[in-house]
A and B are shown apart, each in its own frame.
Chain A
């Protein structure tokens, strides 16, 4: 199919109105020189958006993403973002994002915690409509009484929305995931919304060293003609069909239509693997692969595990780690292989539910090896000293059990 090139849109090798050179994504990710910057996570979000040729962004305040969306507003004022507006609520924001994406724009927004849940209906709608919107979830508590502090419970709600979900460990991950996220999400055979997740405060408000691509290089613009589906407005199939009896009625054809489309969304998530693996250097990262005690973690829990591994190392105990970079697609085979030899698999989490441990347990065999914890929740920190204490307690206990029961 021939694609239409809009002469107003700068192509690779041309400069945009801010003077940024549009470059091939792989050149931007891997070949452009990187310089060290010392930034908060919110500033990193601004810098990633500066380089992403974003057409449209909507802001609605909620801690801990308010700074980031305000900084994106400044980018708009500077002319780096095509259009920018404030929403009336998170539900409205996500609806506005859908409208812009239907219209062929590259869209960015951020939200967190209660905002994510308020907007929730939109996320499976985005996925079902194949809208490659990028949203950064700066996750925070969703419980009552109200908490603004970091807690990853909200991620568990997102897992079956049909979105790609990548969980950043650090500000560096956040920067890279945001840029690479657009590239993967917009592939015709993927074409799904992507949630780039970072832990509120632990990443957004933390000043950390980030290796940045040059300010004057930007991603190519989104090409709406690469969408695998036609724009789903009410007059065009398949949404046109929703007005017709065959989809809206209770009959087998209608069930089939929905079921097959849901399967297709999930298949599209799986098809994102081949684009994601070379960009992120795999869906997982493994440290000390031959250790008998392994951590499996995502987000800040990875960082805390790395510190615990150092403390264990000082005690002469070898402990390994599997960092999960993408929650959707879930690195099923990779995880099975990386934990094959492990005797004890600890899943430290910043939430009360232990949703990652559930995912791990349902993925690997001999899952009695999986210990859901240590856990903190409600904004608590997970000091490496406490991780060690909990693990040593558990191991001592399991040894005692072995002694008693033979």
Chain B
């Protein structure tokens, strides 16, 4: 197993960027790997830049805080790129050579200059329309983050669907308080579904869809993703 995979998740407040990092870390922890996740944000408000970081590896992880040199950069919202709602400029600043970028959209967002720069660094760019898939499968854009972590897990195989399922049960199956803002959003999403089981199932379905697609991509392009393998 590769020694460490460092993932930086950039998005906007309310999109579940922090929850995604926690879920990935919890899934990894369930599977016997070492993991650590933490968020960075300013005053809590929707649509403001928010970032979170996950580190997963085979030995105890001490490193904490903002990830300056990530293997994977995830873009949860096009505005991270188009409006610079990112903690770093460009949004992929510091990415390690051979790394991976996952963008939530189905249209090209990068400039020719950026594409050239990323090509030089041997970066794979993977687009996944996570919000569209969330709306289609779960019926709410609040499940965007599920689509994003499905793609991440499919491309890197850093955690399995089973691990994500368990993490989801842990996170939404019982009472959880991260902050006032998160509690409000949790309530909002619970109201969208008649039963908690339905919420868990729809979210899991969303993850499954992007996981399968990303796994298929990985099969086809295994040579591209060597440095983010686990």
Identify which of B59-67, B100-108, B113-121, B148-156 touches chain A: B59-67
Does the CB pair A38–B65 fall under 8 Å?
no
Interface membership of A150, Cβ < 8 A: yes
Does the CB pair A67–B65 fall under 8 Å?
no
Does the CB pair A149–B40 fall under 8 Å?
yes
| CA A32 to CA B35, docked complex, whole Å | 26
| CA A201 to CA B42, docked complex, whole Å | 11
Identify which of B22-30, B78-86, B193-201, B215-223 touches chain A: B22-30
B26's nearest neighbour on chain A, judged by CB, is: A38
| CA A148 to CA B39, docked complex, whole Å | 13
In-complex Cβ contact of B62 among A205, A307, A381 (8 A): A307
In-complex Cβ contact of A201 among B22, B26, B39, B178 (8 A): B39
Asked whether A206 and B69 contact (CB < 8 A) given A66-B179, A71-B177, the answer is no
In-complex Cβ contact of B25 among A207, A307, A379 (8 A): A207
Does the CB pair A207–B22 fall under 8 Å?
yes
Interface membership of B43, Cβ < 8 A: yes
Most buried by B among A203, A207, A385: A207
Does the CB pair A383–B69 fall under 8 Å?
yes
Which A residues are in CB contact (< 8 Å) with B25? Answer: 38, 207
Q: How many whole Å from B165's CB to the nearest CB in chain A?
A: 16
In chain A, positions 349-406 with a C-beta closer than 8 Å to chain B are: 379-386
In-complex Cβ contact of A148 among B36, B43, B69, B179 (8 A): B43
B182's nearest neighbour on chain A, judged by CB, is: A67
Which A residues are in CB contact (< 8 Å) with B62? Answer: 170, 302-304, 306-307
Asked whether A67 and B69 contact (CB < 8 A) given A207-B36, A307-B63, the answer is no
Q: How many whole Å from B61's CB to the nearest CB in chain A?
A: 8
Interface size on B, residues (CB 8 A): 26
| CA A19 to CA B210, docked complex, whole Å | 46
Does the CB pair A385–B69 fall under 8 Å?
yes
Which A residues are in CB contact (< 8 Å) with B63? Answer: 303-304, 307, 383-384
A74's nearest neighbour on chain B, judged by CB, is: B177
Does the CB pair B26–A207 fall under 8 Å?
yes
Interface membership of A262, Cβ < 8 A: no
| CA A386 to CA B67, docked complex, whole Å | 12
Which B residues are in CB contact (< 8 Å) with A206? Answer: 36-38, 64
Most buried by B among A38, A307, A380: A38
Does the CB pair B36–A381 fall under 8 Å?
no
B40's nearest neighbour on chain A, judged by CB, is: A201
Most buried by A among B22, B42, B64, B178: B64
Which A residues are in CB contact (< 8 Å) with B127? Answer: none
Which B residues are in CB contact (< 8 Å) with A74? Answer: 177
Does the CB pair A208–B68 fall under 8 Å?
no
Q: How many whole Å from B199's CB to the nearest CB in chain A?
A: 21
In-complex Cβ contact of B68 among A202, A205, A383 (8 A): A383
Does the CB pair A67–B177 fall under 8 Å?
yes
Q: How many whole Å from B66's CB to the nearest CB in chain A?
A: 4
In chain B, positions 1-50 with a C-beta closer than 8 Å to chain A are: 21-22, 25-26, 29, 34-40, 42-43
A-B contact count (CB 8 A): 72
Does the CB pair B65–A202 fall under 8 Å?
yes
Asked whether A386 and B38 contact (CB < 8 A) given A67-B178, A306-B62, A307-B63, the answer is no
Does the CB pair A386–B29 fall under 8 Å?
no
Interface size on A, residues (CB 8 A): 34
Q: How many whole Å from A392's CB to the nearest CB in chain B?
A: 16
Which B residues are in CB contact (< 8 Å) with A149? Answer: 40
Which B residues are in CB contact (< 8 Å) with A66? Answer: 179-180
Which B residues are in CB contact (< 8 Å) with A382? Answer: 65
Does the CB pair B65–A300 fall under 8 Å?
yes
Q: How many whole Å from B125's CB to the nearest CB in chain A?
A: 24
| CA A203 to CA B36, docked complex, whole Å | 10
Interface membership of A40, Cβ < 8 A: yes
Does the CB pair A205–B65 fall under 8 Å?
no
Q: How many whole Å from A288's CB to the nearest CB in chain B?
A: 15
Which A residues are in CB contact (< 8 Å) with B65? Answer: 150, 201-202, 300, 304, 381-382
Q: How many whole Å from B28's CB to the nearest CB in chain A?
A: 9
Interface membership of A209, Cβ < 8 A: yes
Q: 7 A-B contacts, Cβ less than 8 Å apart?
A: A207-B22, A207-B35, A303-B63, A304-B64, A379-B40, A381-B64, A381-B68
Chain A residues with a Cβ under 8 A of chain B: 38, 40, 42, 66-67, 70-71, 74, 148-150, 170, 201-203, 205-209, 300, 302-304, 306-307, 379-386
User: Given A67-B178, A203-B64, list of 17 further CB < 8 A pairs?
Assistant: A38-B25, A71-B177, A150-B65, A201-B38, A201-B65, A205-B38, A205-B39, A206-B37, A206-B64, A207-B25, A300-B64, A303-B63, A304-B63, A306-B62, A380-B66, A381-B65, A382-B65
Chain B residues with a Cβ under 8 A of chain A: 21-22, 25-26, 29, 34-40, 42-43, 62-69, 177-180
